Amino acid sequence: MIFITPLLLFLPSCVSGTFVVNVTQTSYHAEENQNITLEWTFSTRRDTSLRSISIVCEMFTEIRRYLLFHLHQGVESPESQDPEFSGRVQWDKDVLTEGRLTLHVSRLRTSDSGFYVCDIFVIPDESNSRRCWLIVTAAAELQTQRPTESPQPERHRFIWIYVGLAVTLTLLSLSAAVFKPRLTKCLCRKR
């Protein structure tokens, strides 16, 4: 949280000049192992070419940040991508020059939850950025299995507590029966 708070103060919608970056959705919700498409739109001109576009997209969690997409003057540079997202991010080249950045993130993990910021720079305009949230929850089948599994070990534990108690009580009464006569015998002898 300490890490995110200063960023939240500086990143929001500071629209500088005429160059605008929007998100089509401010938050997304998905399940583990699903695929998702995150989308940003930005201002373009008639002559906007692929080579004039540079983009850096990062994912922020409470702990750290991950670079998931880097486009340098129209050329993707996968070497700067965080291994966490390796082979899981695809984009559409043909819609980019129309001002649409579509990032397809596949095989989602719960650790992909966080906010995603894309900084888009188009020559000769200024750059701008927007963020959206993604929440990835654990797969549904894992959640439904849990309630049916948990009561059983609980019941077994109680059975063993009762068995343990019964055994202890039996042993106690037996030992009392065995030792009591001896104790009285000893006391008698001393007298």
Ligand X SMILES: *[C@@H]1O[C@H](CO)[C@@H](O)[C@H](O)[C@H]1NC(C)=O
CA 185 distance to own-chain centroid:
73
> Token pair of 42, please?
């930005």
Binding flag, residue 35, ligand X (CB under 6 A): yes
> Token pair of 145, please?
């299995």
Total residues interacting with ligand X, rule: CB under 6 A: 8
Of residues 141-170, which lie at the interface with ligand X (CB under 6 A)? none
Residue in 68, 58, 69 with CA at minimum distance from that of residue 11: 58
Count CA within 13 A, CB hemisphere, residue 139. Answer: 10
Q: Which of 52, 54, 97, 106 binds ligand X (CB under 6 A)?
A: 106
Taking the complex as a whole, the smallest distance from the CB of residue 103 to ligand X amounts, in Å, to: 12
Please give the Cα distance from 19 to 120 (Å, whole number).
Answer: 10
Binding flag, residue 20, ligand X (CB under 6 A): yes
Dmax (CA) of the chain? 118
Taking the complex as a whole, the smallest distance from the CB of residue 20 to ligand X amounts, in Å, to: 5
In the shown chain, the binding pattern of residues 36 to 75 toward ligand X, with x for contact by CB under 6 A and - for none, equals -----xxx--------------------------------
Binding flag, residue 99, ligand X (CB under 6 A): yes
